[in-house]
Amino acid sequence: MVFKDNFRDLGFGVGLRRQHYADVTEYRATVDWFEIISENFMVRGGRPLAVLEKVRETHPIAMHGVSLSIGSADPLNRDYLMTLRTMARQFEPAWISDHLCWTGVGGHNLHDLLPLPYTDEAVRYVARRVRQVQDFLEQPILVENVSSYMTFRASAMEEWEFLSAVAEESDCGILLDINNIFVNAFNHQFDALRYIDSVTSERVVQFHMAGHSDHGTHLLDTHDHPIREEVWQLYEHAVRRFGLTATLIEWDDNIPEFETLARIAPEARDRATRVLRMTSRTGY
Ligand SMILES: [Fe+2]
């Protein structure tokens, strides 16, 4: 059995955002599942938890964090991990994910998802920490590729090799953000298709799709625009390689009405099923 078979395919979902709390319990026929930002629900009682309880009565959820800082030189934050474990026991997410990055050092939080040098030493270091987190949470986690605006001279491998090596060495899953691949391919001048064709396929459990902003010389991963056609094309390529994979639409700024956001999930479904139908016909 390959790693990703430990997880069910949740279908096509959207991120649960505060602006939509009033809508999600009413209108969600087209959304298969929801992803929550774990930190937004690390509160005692109140509306967020009430909404989450209601949502999970009818839909699977996944917990997506932004504070694990798995690549930091600081020790892992035990209080944060304990809160995460308590939440996971209460809300029973289909899985827990966070980013392959660091967010601070020396106790300072930089509130950004910062890239790592792609070296063997960093693979061993991060993989050891992922294993510690998985042991503590008593379940495998997914790590997500981040967008970046700088690279390290020390890097000795490609980004996709680093992501795959960390996942293999720590025995964790991959949340593949297709938009982040597109953004990084432009910013760092590599071939996005090669990334998708090279990353270890047995560990890709989930996709992220989002919009970005184009600043001419560089792309910014802002999650505030509709998904560009080029990113959809990349998504279709990923579906050809990885097959049907749980897909999540992220939108975090200039957030549209829930109805508009919720329509993107079936668009992803339509594209994925069309691509797979063509694939089986042509034997791609
Ligand atoms: Fe993402």
Residue 250 CA to ligand 1 centre (angstroms): 7
Quote the ligand 1 centre to 283 CA distance (angstroms): 31
Ligand 1 mean position, distance from CA 282 (Å): 31
Residues 167-221: tens digit of each pLDDT = 999 999 999 999 999 999 999 999 999 999 999 999 999 999 999 989 999 998 8
Q: Give me ligand 1 centre to Cα 264, in Å.
A: 16
85-135 per-position pLDDT tens digit: 999 999 999 999 999 999 999 988 888 999 999 999 999 999 999 999 999
How far is the centre of ligand 1, averaged over its atoms, from the C-alpha of 165 (Å)? 20
Distance 275 CA to ligand 1 centre (A): 22
- Mark out the alpha helices in the chain (DSSP H runs): 21-24, 47-58, 78-91, 120-137, 159-170, 178-188, 192-198, 229-242, 258-282
What is the whole-number distance in angstroms between the Cα of residue 96 and the centre of ligand 1? 13
Q: What is the whole-number distance in angstroms between the Cα of residue 23 and the centre of ligand 1?
A: 23
Distance 209 CA to ligand 1 centre (A): 7
CA dihedral sign, ordered 14, 18, 19, 21:
positive
Q: pLDDT tens for residues 54-75?
A: 999 999 999 999 999 999 999 9
